[in-house]
Amino acid sequence: MILSYRYRLYPTKTQGMALGDMLGDFCELYNCALEHRISAYAKGATVRRYDQSAALPQIRRELPHQGRWSATAQQQVLHRLDRAYAAFFGRVKRGGAAGFSRFRARARYHAAEFRVGDGLTLRKSGKLGFVGVPGEVKVKWHRALPSVPKSAILSRNAGKWFVILHVDVQPIERAGPDSVGIDMGLTSLVAFSNGETVARQNITKRNAAQLRRAQRALARCKRRSKGRRERKAVIAKLQAHIGNARRDCLHKLSASIVARFGRIAIEDLNIKGLAAGMLAKPVNDAAWSMLTNMLAYKAAKAGCELVKVDPRRTSQTCPDCGMITKKTLAERMHRCDCGCVLDRDVAAAIVVHDRAFGRPHGACGEAPSQRVAA
pLDDT in tens, 298-308: 998 888 899 99
Asked whether residue 182 falls in the same domain as residue 158, the answer is: no
Residue 172 has pLDDT above 60, yes or no: yes
161: left (phi over 0), alpha (psi -120 to 50) or beta: beta
**End residue of a domain, out of 168, 187, 220:** 168
Calculate Rg over the CA atoms of the chain: 25
Is 82 a known active-site residue?
no
pLDDT band of 369, cuts 50, 70, 90: very low
For residue 316, which of 357, 352, 281 has the smallest C-alpha distance?
352
When pLDDT is cut at 50, 70 and 90, the band that residue 243 belongs to is very high
Helix (H) or strand (E) holding 114: strand 111-116
Query: pLDDT band at 175, cuts 50/70/90?
Result: low
pLDDT at 87: 92
Answer yes or no: is pLDDT of 331 > 80.
yes
* Confidence tier at 174 by pLDDT (50, 70, 90): low
Whether 118 sits among the annotated catalytic residues: the reply is: no
Residue type for position 109:
Y
**137 falls within a domain:** yes
Same domain, 90 and 112: yes
> Which residue out of 25, 82, 113, 267 is catalytically annotated?
267
Of the candidates 25, 82, 183, 285, the residue annotated as catalytic is 183
Residue 284: pLDDT over 70: yes
Asked if the structure places residue 210 within a domain, the reply is: no
216 in a domain, yes or no? no
How high is the pLDDT of residue 141? 96
- For the chain, how many structural domains are there in total? 2
Q: Mean pLDDT across the stretch 92-110?
A: 90
Q: In this predicted model, what pLDDT tens digit does every residue of 246-280 receive, in sequence order?
A: 999 999 999 999 999 989 999 999 988 888 888 89
Q: How far apart are CA 181 and CA 354, in angstroms?
A: 8
**Residue 114: what are its φ and ψ, rounded to 5°?**
-135, 160
CB within 8 A of 187, min separation 6: which ones? 200, 332, 345
Which region among 5-9, 83-87, 330-334 has the lowest average model confidence (pLDDT)? 330-334
Beta bridge partners of residue 9, listed in sequence order? 139, 161
Is a pLDDT exceeding 50 seen at residue 23? yes
Q: Quick check: is 228 in a domain?
A: no
- Binned at pLDDT 50, 70 and 90, residue 372 comes out as very low
Predicted TM-score (pTM) of this structure: 0.83
Position 291 in a domain: yes
Residue 206 lies inside a defined structural domain of this protein? no
The span from the CA of 146 to the CA of 167, in Å, is 7
The confidence score (pLDDT) of residue 362 equals: 47
What domain range is 112 assigned to? 2-168
CA 327 to chain centre: 32
Note whether 150 and 264 are same-domain residues. Answer: no
In this model, does residue 368 exceed pLDDT 50? no
The HSE-up count of residue 90 (CA atoms within 13 Å, CB side) is: 6
Same domain, 194 and 343: yes
Is residue 35 annotated as part of the catalytic site, yes or no? no
**What percentage of the chain carries pLDDT values higher than 70?**
95
209 lies in a domain? Answer: no
pLDDT(187) > 90: no
Q: Is the pLDDT of residue 124 over 80?
A: yes
Catalytic residue, chosen from 25, 113, 285, 345, is 345
To the nearest whole number, what is the mean pLDDT of the chain?
90
Choose one of 168, 187, 211: the last residue of a domain.
Answer: 168
pLDDT > 90: percent of the chain:
67
**374: pLDDT strictly greater than 90:** no
Same domain, 163 and 181: no
| Rounded CA separation 41/36 (Å) | 9
Query: Within this chain, do residues 265 and 285 fall inside the same structural domain, yes or no?
Result: yes
